[in-house]
């Protein structure tokens, strides 16, 4: 009987030890697991934005540094005008209009509400002045005047806006008007706004000549005579942030307060987009927070000494040597400091290139490696077209070789 009690006590003691051991392990493990879960689920950037939608993009590479619900569909307000400006500069580049051309304001354009510079029907302003009014004062009347000047009607211009948007990969954007007034179906996203902002500043950097002006004037010339009208930039970052270069504000009842802010520092160009901020102060302060984070994080490598390309051999062509060119300059963004001296390059050209070759055909690539890892490449393109040699050309080449 005593032996049975002894055995029972041993079992109870053993069970108690097991319970205490399990409890100790759990006590040690659970906080660590909780901390790990919190660390994994937390925002490593330390950024806490009140605005419901935002994105930070590096302009030269298009790499996204930070995003918060960047694909949520929202009303874009006057940030819409970024696309309007793209089409204006497209038209200038294509030779359809010039900066000194005069634009006549229609009754419809003059009737635009919202932000405006109070253009009158029949009034004439240059394209240059219209761009200034759009960029600085977010003038709806100037937007519609330019849309009609370029495409005949605003609706035709808006169709081009949507086509251009699709070409940029703005798959969640639909424009209904050219100025951003609230309208059913007129929607975009923070990511799409960043994409069109990048297109504007990269393709037409002269936009900064307008978007960085804080105050200026224009002259209204009407039947009543000439009157001076003051212009003030709606983008307060131009005064508040040392490295600001633009770009566009927007606010309506449905859109709340929006901003596409561009800035440049030490060779790094950033785009910070804030959508649906509760107030104007928040959109500017949070854009500054994003830009400061980006500048503290980004390390941009730009290859300013790409290898000289020599001609490559082509078989069965009217010419034996094909001249080549790079598709673009190479740049790469590191999200931490990198030793640029450890970046290596490897030029790879296609073997056995055979005519016909068309100008723009890819004939190789220049690959870039950092610490042995591929970080990007640039295509090598044919800089000319070479036709396939016919029998006469082939025979002539044989005779020339024999004579040599």
| pLDDT tens series, the chain, 404 aa | 444 444 445 554 444 444 444 444 333 433 333 333 333 333 566 789 999 999 999 999 899 999 999 999 999 999 999 999 999 999 999 999 999 999 999 999 999 989 999 999 999 999 999 999 999 999 999 999 999 999 999 999 999 999 999 999 999 999 999 999 999 999 999 999 999 999 999 999 999 999 999 999 999 988 888 999 999 999 999 999 999 999 999 999 999 999 999 999 988 999 999 999 999 999 999 999 999 999 998 888 989 899 999 999 999 898 999 999 999 999 888 888 889 999 999 999 998 899 999 999 999 999 999 999 999 999 999 999 999 987 656 665 555 666 66
Q: Which of 115, 138, 188, 251 is catalytic?
A: 138
Both tokens of 289, joined, read 């927070």
- The residues, ordered by sequence, that sit 6+ positions from 14 with a Cβ below 8 Å of its Cβ are none
Give yes or no: 160 in active site. Answer: no
Give yes or no: 337 in active site. Answer: no
Give yes or no: 78 in active site. Answer: yes
CA angle 173, 174, 175 (to 5 degrees): 120
CB 280 within 8 A of CB 257: yes
Residue 77: DSSP 8-state: G
Residue 27, preceding bond cis, omega within 30 degrees? no
Q: Which of 53, 68, 81, 115 is catalytic?
A: 81
Domains and CATH numbers, the chain: 53-297 (3.40.710.10), 312-403 (2.60.410.10)
Sort strands 244-252 and 256-265 into parallel, antiparallel or unpaired.
Answer: antiparallel
**Among 118, 123, 124, which residue's Cα sits nearest to residue 101?**
124
Question: Distance between CA atoms of 172 and 204, rounded to whole angstroms?
Answer: 24
Q: Where are the beta strands (DSSP E) in 170-224?
A: 215-222
Q: Which of 51, 53, 78, 151 is catalytic?
A: 78
CB 62 within 8 A of CB 202: no
pTM: 0.77
């Amino acid at each position: 009987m005593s032996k049975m009690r002894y055995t029972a006590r041993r079992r109870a003691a053993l069970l108690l030890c097991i319970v205490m051991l399990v409890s100790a392990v759990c006590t040690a493990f659970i906080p660590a697991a909780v901390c790990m879960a919190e660390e994994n689920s937390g925002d490593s950037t330390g950024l806490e934005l009140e605005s419901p939608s935002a994105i930070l993009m590096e302009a030269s590479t298009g790499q996204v540094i930070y995003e918060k619900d960047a694909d949520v569909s929202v009303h874009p307000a006057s940030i819409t005008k970024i696309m309007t400006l793209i089409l204006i500069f497209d038209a200038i580049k294509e030779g359809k209009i010039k900066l000194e051309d005069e634009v006549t304001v229609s009754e419809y354009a003059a009737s635009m509400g919202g932000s405006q510079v109070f253009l009158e029907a029949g009034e004439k302003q240059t394209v240059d002045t219209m761009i200034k009014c759009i960029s600085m004062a977010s003038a709806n009347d100037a937007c519609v005047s330019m849309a009609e000047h370029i495409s005949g009607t605003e609706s035709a211009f808006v169709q081009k806006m949507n086509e251009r948007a699709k070409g940029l990969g703005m798959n969640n954007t639909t424009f209904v008007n050219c100025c951003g007034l609230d309208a059913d179906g007129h929607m975009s996203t923070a990511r799409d706004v960043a994409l069109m902002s990048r297109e504007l500043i990269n393709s037409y950097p002269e936009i900064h000549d307008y978007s960085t002006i804080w105050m200026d004037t224009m002259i209204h010339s009407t039947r009543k005579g000439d009157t001076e009208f003051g212009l003030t930039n709606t983008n307060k970052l131009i005064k508040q942030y040392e490295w600001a270069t633009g770009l566009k504000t927007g606010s309506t009842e449905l859109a709340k307060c929006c901003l596409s802010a561009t800035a440049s520092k030490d060779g790094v160009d950033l785009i910070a987009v804030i959508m649906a901020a509760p107030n104007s102060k928040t959109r500017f302060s949070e854009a500054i927070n994003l830009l400061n984070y980006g500048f503290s994080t980004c390390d941009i490598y730009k290859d300013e000494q790409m290898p000289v390309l020599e001609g490559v051999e082509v078989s069965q062509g009217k010419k034996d040597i094909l001249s080549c060119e790079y598709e673009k300059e190479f740049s790469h963004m590191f999200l931490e400091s990198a030793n640029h001296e450890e970046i290596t390059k490897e030029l790879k050209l296609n073997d056995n290139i055979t005519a016909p070759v068309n100008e723009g055909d890819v004939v190789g690539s220049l690959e870039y490696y950092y610490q042995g890892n591929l970080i990007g490449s640039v295509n090598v393109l044919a800089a000319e077209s070479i036709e396939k040699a016919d029998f006469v050309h082939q025979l002539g080449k044989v005779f020339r070789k024999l004579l040599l």
